[in-house]
Each structure stands twice: as C-alpha cells, then as structure tokens.
Amino acid sequence: MPTITYREAVSQALWEEMERDERIFIMGEEVGVWGGTYAVTRGFLDHFGEKRVRDTPIAEGVIVGAAAGAAMAGLRPVAELMTINFALLAMDQIANHAAKLHAMFGGQITCPVVIRTVGGAGRQLAATHSQNLEVLFAHFPGLKVVAPATPYDAKGLLKAALRQEDPLLFIEHATLYPTRGEVPEGDYTVPIGKSEVKRRGRDVTIIAYSKMVLLALEAAQELAKEGIEAEVIDLRTLRPLDLEPVLESFKKTNRAVIAEEDWRSYGVGAEVAARIYEEAFDYLDAPIARVAQAEVPLPYNRELEQMALPKVADIVKAVKDMGW
C-alpha cells in the first residue's frame, strides 16, 4: 500500500471526488492561483478550471453563505476557510443558517455544504491563529464535525463527506499535513460518525481525536514499556459522536483518559467523560482523567507554547496517576 502524506490524502480525496461528481466545486481564499494556503489544491485550477475552483475575497461570511446557498440549489460546494479561527467570522452562516436550514424548512431542502478548515496549534502562530475551536461547532445539532488524525481517515472521511446530505465541518490539523500513512489506491470511504480503535489494550482506554491520536499512540508505546497496555480510540467524528467503541473498551479497562488539544473546560473531554459516567458508571475504577491545553490564550513564545500544549508525557502521567 502506498504511503502518502495527510496533505496528499486530502488533496486526492478532493480531486477524485471532483472527477466523480461535477457538482462539486471549491471556493475560498487562495485556493486557486496560489494552490491553497496549505498547498492542498495545488494544480486544481489548471485541471478543473475557474468555474470549479474559485478564489474569493477575504470575506468568510460570504464564502460560507454563498456555498450554503449553492448547496441548497443542488451543487456540492467545498468552502475552504483558511483556518478555523476565521470561521468565527462565518459563525452566523454556519450555525444559524447552514446547520438549521434542513430542520427549519421542514426537511424540504438539504444543505450539503462541506466546510474545510484547518485547526490546531504548535506552529507559533500565537493566540488568535492557533485555536482548537471544534467544540464550538460540535455544539450545534444539524452540523456534522469531522476531525481526522491519519491520511487514511482524512481521505476516506472527506470522500464520505462529499457523498452525504448534511452541512459538515471538516477540520484538518495544521501540523498533520506532512505526516505520512498508508492509503490504498482506488476509491474507498470511511463512515462519518464512527469511532475506531487504533490500538488494542486491556488496561486503560485513551480517547483522542485529530493530532492527539498520534500523541496517544506514542503514550501507549511508552506505557507498554512498563507493562501497561493502553487501548487508543480515535473519535474521528465529533458530531455525531460515536461512543460505542469507547464504552465497549471502558467496560473492559474500567479506566479512561481523554486527550484533547482544546481547553479542558467545556471541552470534548468533558462531553465524553460525562457520557461514560452516564452509561458505564458501574464499570468505573478511577476518576476519568482529561489531558488538555492550559487554560490560557496560547503564547507565541515557542517554549511557552509548547508548555501550554498537551504532550505525550502528560498522557503517560495521567494514566500512571490512576495507580497501578
């Protein structure tokens, strides 16, 4: 199986889907002539032409609003927001329009807009450009939120996103683009709304998504040296949230750590922990631990930025603190 980068995986998914379905078009800042801020759409303009690869003004509300309108009219737009931080400018279009149209029109219309954006920290882009805002969006019923960790999942999930009928926010992690993974040649999809066990283990369940899955897998290797076998589960989709594998795993391990790059307060970990307490209380052997970003606007300074972000050692420590 070929090994490709996360960037190539996303790019391949878009390319193959645009070849498959001519209703699909891309619009966003720098997606055409420049080839995308993270070089995902390089070569797309030449191949698919201006009608299907549209550079837009710096106006996020317009990008999402126009794309949502096009989706309602029958097209399959991919609206690209340069980073999730700028999605705040399009919040009304995303949360008040795209997410609600299907319900508010009594199911008469659908709005299958895919909003691709980039989240995450670690590149010294300072507090306003390094955020993990996924929970803001995962809060809204009507909007699907996907955050893949691996090239395989990124490609399969993006393809699936372009074949379904709901508005969907697709969050790529800024530091994952150069990471590599095996991706089969040819067409495949990964189902949206399905979590996956990425590593088997009997002692503790580590739940993560996006980049934190890689850190969780590293932590699991560290723990294995000490005889602690961690099961790592990748949520992949934050809404709809699939906790079946999590609960199944937890009923075996009785212990859980949730690793997330967003802030702990009101974060993904809070939601997952609450659901475990609700669904599997009698299986609990230790308080559920959360590993998350320090509760500060993220510093620009490299040392401080790294200190504030959750690390492999933090996950290892959270597991060990449960007592063995």
Partner 1 sequence: MAEVVTMPKLGFDMREGTLVKWLKREGEAVNKGEVIAEIETDKATVEVEAYASGVIKGLFAREGDVLPIGEPIAVIGAPDEKVDLEALKRSAKGEEAQAPAQAAAVAAPTAPGATRPDGRALPEAPPAEALPTEIKASPVARRLASEHGVDLRQVTGTGPGGRITRRDIEAYLAQPRPAPAPPPAPAPAPVPEVVRPPAFGEERPLSRIRQLIARRMVEAKQAPHFYVTMEVDMAGAMKLRQDANALLDDAHKLSVNDLIVKAAALALREFPRLNASFAGDKIIIHPEINIGIAVALEDGLTTVVIRNADQKSLSQIAAESKEIIARTREGKNRPEDFEGITFTTSNLGMYDVDSFIAIINPPNAAILATGAVKEVPVVVDGEVRVGTRMKATISVDHRVSDGAEAARFLQAFKRILEQPLRLAV
Q: Among 146, 139, 121, which Cα is nearest to 131's?
A: 121
* Pattern 204-233, partner 1, x by CB under 8 A: ------------------------------
139 is catalytic: no
Q: Which of 285, 297, 302, 307 binds partner 1 (CB under 8 A)?
A: 285
The single residue among 5, 283, 311, 317 that binds partner 1, judged by CB under 8 A, is 283
Residues 245-264 that bind partner 1 (CB under 8 A): 254
What SS3 state is found at 13?
helix
Strands 230-234 and 196-199: antiparallel
Question: What is the chain's length?
Answer: 324
Q: How far is the CB of 321 from partner 1 (least distance, A)?
A: 7
Whether the CA torsion 125, 148, 243, 197 is positive or negative: it is: negative
8 A C-beta contact, residue 81 and residue 131: no
Residue tagged active-site, from 29, 60, 231, 261: 60
- Report how far Cα 181 is from the mean position of its chain's Cα atoms: 17
186-205 residues in contact with partner 1 (CB under 8 A) are none
Least distance CB 251 / partner 1 (angstroms): 9
d(CA 95, CA 310): 29
User: Please, what is the end-to-end C-alpha distance for the chain in angstroms?
Assistant: 39
Nearest-angstrom CA–CA distance, 216 and 24: 35
Residue-wise over 162-172: b if at least 16 C-beta within 10 A, else e? bebebbbbbbb
Instruction: Kindly tell me which residue out of 185, 244, 282, 295 binds partner 1, with binding defined by CB under 8 A.
Output: 282
- Asked if residues 12 and 25 have their Cβ atoms less than 8 Å apart, the reply is no
> With binding defined as CB under 8 A, does residue 107 bind partner 1?
no
Structure tokens at 39: 């070089």
Nearer to partner 1, 71 or 243 (CB): 243
84 vs 315, beta carbon nearer partner 1: 315
- Report the nearest approach of partner 1 to the CB of residue 273 (Å): 14
Which of 284, 299, 311, 317 binds partner 1 (CB under 8 A)? It is 284
State which of residues 286, 299, 311, 317 lies at the interface with partner 1 (CB under 8 A). 286
Q: Which of 17, 80, 97, 129 does the annotation list as catalytic?
A: 129
Q: By CB under 8 A, which span of 42-50, 77-85, 140-148, 278-286 interacts with partner 1?
A: 278-286
Known catalytic residue at 129: yes
The catalytic site residues sit at 60, 129
User: What residues line the site for partner 1 (CB under 8 A)?
Assistant: 254, 281-286, 321-323
